[in-house]
Chain A
């Protein structure tokens, strides 16, 4: 862990169960992957986390004078991935939107209109607007206007039925391809997103299974890189397909990871299949994860606290999934518990000349405090720090959601021994004679 915040990395916001990831590629290029903005505590289980309010002031200024977000990537259109999009779109100029074909399919498949939240509808409307705008621009032989770009990610067997299918190839990208260009600017050598999913075969599956999955590689000037695997809300079958597909194609470098965002907010469905009303562990996927993990890799669960036990039918996060990840990596992080349940900090993934690592929470907190001073000093390398500082503020919103645990946390061995003692009925084993005689 380093004592300062580098200029390349990503911030995973502590926003309960939901995704808000901000990738800082350079001072001027910031990409948001999913969004879980909560203006107020709408339901009991969610807390007020005004991500958009906190994020917008940290963004660079665009050519139109508004705050500028180079791209917004939506893995899938569930509320915990796109809440606050309408507000964001309103306050920020978004250079490029990354969308999957899924929503066209949903509108097409259900004449009454799909079950989508307002922000998802807003997203789809904006995507449709941009598709038409680009088509118009292309027809006129022009580049798309500022804030009009869109990238359609993934296959759909019903391509022909959708309006976007008329877009030129540069606005379409498919699994197995890499993207280095954001909002018309190529960032090769600094940023690469390798698209793993959605697969064509899954396009008719449940919405989660059509999530965008990709590996993001961030490379600093000296050549050190950090790799983040993002699987959205995919589950076992699709993730295994991703692993097997890339292994078969000998492109295992696109499976490597320094940071794995635990799919579907640490869902057990990643490694358990339901058979005869029982969850059956699939160890093969654990091996896949472990085999492709790089030295010092971490798993980040973007969720509320991991429960102390699982109940059947409960939504993620699942303890049984967290337990399995803990075996795979040295560090497992739940955004709601990092570094502690009572005082969460954002998970800041940085890439610098020493490689990829999670920044020490105190470094992040300290950086937040000195932010204003640095700004005064005109430090050019501020973007990631600013985002991290804003996300630190987000942590304050969720803090206090849990009462501080008065009792000291037991270590694993202590828990095991407590179980042994409980089962035995006493802390010590029955005394046996200690004597010798044989050798």
Chain B
């Protein structure tokens, strides 16, 4: 893992001291809320429905056990004993007191963490493949490049006041586990026929009010020009992005309005200019960073066999374990989606347990996934049973990864001041309706994603089944979308028709799954069947009952 150098630490410490002074001045009445609000948002501190909410940045979703333990301790010391892992691989605390926020940030800084640029119209925390450096199908480890992005984007003065927030994802595998094409910029590290590494730039994707899949703008940018190309992409956006209309201010609108070809032309022109300026970090810096991401000391004699005689353990292994690049090792996915639970929430004790497991069994490392789960990236297969037993005791051995119970849900109207409807109760009811694991496995891979408003923090556009909560004259109403998907075959969900109330949407989801089970061809996922048979059979099933009931 990357470790702060003196500059990183000095910058974060200085920011804590600066914010402490700002908070003191606010509490003393020396500055108004209008003056203070942008300052606290610069430090990830929002005012939500019930209290201040702090969003902590977890760079490319990677944590050490020491950092994870601190996140658990913060939940106890400053919050109410739990945290919420988000779809941007971050963690949020819902009950923060302003007067305690500087001390919290100081505690974070003591483990090389912060909440900078987790809000505002700047470059947000870069996300990445949660299996980076561990996956068997990886071509290039994206973490050094993600760290370079972190350093480049942190406090970048030119991009501190963009037309709108800006989100970047980076992957190094054929399999896209980071919803890359639905970001402002997605970077895929690829290799050409000569074995050289290049960066493929997807620019102008996004969800929210106007979902769009990013087109390829740069097909094979040399890695040592990645930052210059990013500068070019951002400069064109900063120059022409719509600042007059918040709803048209994301880069996806710009790319769409002027067209990918024209946007690419402008980027290439700017890129050629930037290359003459020598803005690119020296190659030695990338090599220095790569040094932090060398493989841990894997045991070449680690046994590859696994005793699966315990059926519950065997189920968990089958569902939640991913292939590792080294024989004798596995990637463990810890699902934070118990039946009827709150997606992404973990108690302080659970957080500390996961930290301990990482320390004892995963070379001190954890990852947060955009699906609101936790990963132990480097686990000896011989240790899996012990880990599973410990997770089971803590209520964390939910064997439902990528099944319908593995629901993504934003905090919704239970916490979020932007939300129009509650997300979590819907997730809980669906989770309970499909609580039987055998039923979930019969349905196979089925990604269900719920957002409580059009901002789409719950990624409903990318759900095989998506749910969007809306406000209909003060009453919660839920629209159903089908056919969304992230990854190599990214697609956007289509709305089925009229919305439902809270119980109605659960029934509708069940009917949709029944159509799938009746119609699927061998080997088809839900989304494959939807693509083959189209919307009509699903609509007929969903709305038939309503018609019958008049």
Decide whether A and B assemble into one complex. no
- The residues of B with any CB-CB pair to A shorter than 8 Å are none
